[in-house]
Amino acid sequence: MIKNDKNSPLNTNHRPWPVPNSPWLFRMRWTQLLFAHFPVDPKILAPFIPEGLSLQLFDGVAWVAIVPFVMENTAPRGIPAVPGVSKFLELNVRTYVVPSGKINDSMETAKPGVFFFSLDANSKFAVRAARKFFHLPYMDAHMSLSVDDKNNGINYNSHRFHKGQHPCVLDVSYHASSEELLKDKSEFEIWASERYCLYSVDHKGQVWRGEIDHDPWPLQTATVEIRKNTMFDQLPIKPLSDAPICHFSRSIDVRGWYISKVT
């Protein structure tokens, strides 16, 4: 668990590159999280990647993930979580990129990361703060989560209403289908989950990088029922398969740094 004190140590042995020299600035906890990865033709997805970033492939295929979860304990370093502000629902649509010209570099040099097509949240404060200070495409949405007592599963519903944006909908249920955490992750599971930075682009086209740190992802395989999914309509794209590769994570603590320009 991440502590509030400034001397809380960083466990970085698993990282492909060192953490920034500057102190981390904020913390958060991601809980009840689903990774649903869909394969996509890279030729179809590439036009949606901003200039300055290059799409990263696995086995010659691009991957887009739908990631619903609960964000909690969100606060600046040394400041207690604030009720009504520090906890909210979030839904990401993401893919994987490196800065242009770095596609064949080592991980430490290229810093492969996440690029978000959208981040829906039911917190007006989080949406506006993230859009202003991190250049991330956060959007307002009506969202709900309930727990199914029969299988300890999650019922998750999101309906975007952000002004000027496509009203995307996700209605899904998911639960861990394995009792224990994955001990030996596959190459794909490591490639898709163990990423320690995000990339965003401001209104001038400048690329920014935000570094994060956390322990290796505690993953379980997941069973998913998708009742409605229009999250890809915002691009629009159609995945190569309607059957995603799915994983569940109960909880992970994360620290973050402020974004910096990518030159």
Instruction: Please report the DSSP string for 178-203 in residue order.
Output: SSS--SS--HHHHHHH---EEEEE-T
In a domain, 18, yes or no: no
In a domain, 188, yes or no: yes
In a domain, 5, yes or no: no
Q: Is 100 helix (H, G, I), strand (E, B) or coil?
A: coil
pLDDT score of 179: 84
pLDDT score of 109: 87
In a domain, 128, yes or no: no
This prediction has a pTM of 0.93
Q: Is 49 helix (H, G, I), strand (E, B) or coil?
A: coil
The rounded distance, in Å, linking the Cα atoms of 84 and 117 is 26
pLDDT score of 105: 86
The rounded distance, in Å, linking the Cα atoms of 77 and 128 is 20
- Number of domains comprising the chain: 1
In a domain, 126, yes or no: no
Distances (CA, A) of 81 to 31, 32, 109, 231: 16, 19, 35, 30
Q: Is 134 helix (H, G, I), strand (E, B) or coil?
A: helix
Cα 246 to the chain's mean position, in Å?
A: 14
Cβ atoms 131, 123 nearer than 8 A: no
**What is the residue range of 75's domain?**
30-121+176-223+233-261
Specify which residues 140 forms β-bridges with.
121
In a domain, 35, yes or no: yes
Could you state, in chain order, the average pLDDT of each consecutive group of 10 residues for the chain (263 residues)?
A: 42 85 96 98 97 96 98 95 92 97 86 97 96 97 92 93 96 93 94 97 97 96 97 96 96 97 91
In a domain, 205, yes or no: yes
In a domain, 48, yes or no: yes
